[in-house]
């Protein structure tokens, strides 16, 4: 592998990441239930809320903070975006005025279970391989 002019290479990579993200978003929105959920998208390079390990994080203002330059398959984006959008759709991240109490990690895990169980019945993108094939019944509580 040769070292090309760094800036051009990076720019090209960035565009590929952006295209994959956009295609993932398009795939996710082909599902009418998901397309009906309102949200904003942030892909700013300096965004402090964007995940460093994952693809997307959702906040209580209804904004999806996507990793700005991670190169992922559109199907992986579609699944991750669907997951985040469902947290919004299920009211897991209500807007709070004043002091905000962050849910503990058990609550967070329970909410993700509910979302992932729901996604099993959906065809949207590609489920990450490390996730289980089924989940416990019941609601978040």
Tell me the window of 19-27, 42-50, 108-116, 131-139 that interacts with Zn ion (CB under 5 A): 108-116
Whole-angstrom Cα distance, residue 39 to residue 56?
A: 13
Residue nearest to Zn ion (CB): 112
Using the rule CB under 5 A, which residue among 25, 47, 112, 113 binds Zn ion?
112
Minimum CB separation from Zn ion for residue 105, in Å? 11
Least distance from C-beta 15 to Zn ion, angstroms?
28
- Please, are residues 65 and 47 in contact by the beta-carbon 8 Å criterion? yes
Q: Near Zn ion by CB under 5 A, which window of 11-19, 59-67, 104-112, 117-125?
A: 104-112
Distances in Å between the Cα of 70 and the Cα atoms of 90, 101, 111, 135 are: 27, 30, 25, 29
Q: Rule CB under 5 A: is residue 113 a binding residue for Zn ion? A: no
Distance, CA of 28 to CA of 33 (rounded, Å): 10
**65 beta partners:** 42, 57
Closer Cβ to Zn ion, 47 or 112, answer by number: 112
Interface residues with Zn ion (CB under 5 A) are 112
């Amino acid at each position: 592998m040769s070292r090309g002019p760094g800036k051009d290479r990076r720019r090209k990579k960035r565009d590929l990441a952006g295209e994959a993200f956009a295609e993932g978003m398009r795939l996710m929105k082909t599902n009418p239930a998901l397309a009906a959920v309102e949200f904003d998208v942030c892909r700013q390079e300096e965004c402090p809320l964007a995940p460093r390990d994952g693809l997307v994080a959702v906040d209580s203002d209804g904004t999806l903070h996507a990793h700005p330059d991670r190169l992922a398959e559109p199907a992986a984006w579609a699944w991750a975006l669907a997951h985040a959008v469902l947290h919004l759709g299920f009211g897991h991240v209500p807007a709070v005025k004043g002091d905000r109490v962050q849910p503990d990690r058990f609550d967070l895990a329970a909410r993700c279970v509910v979302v992932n169980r729901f996604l099993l019945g959906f065809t949207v993108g590609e489920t990450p391989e490390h996730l289980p094939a089924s989940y416990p019944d019941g609601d978040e509580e």
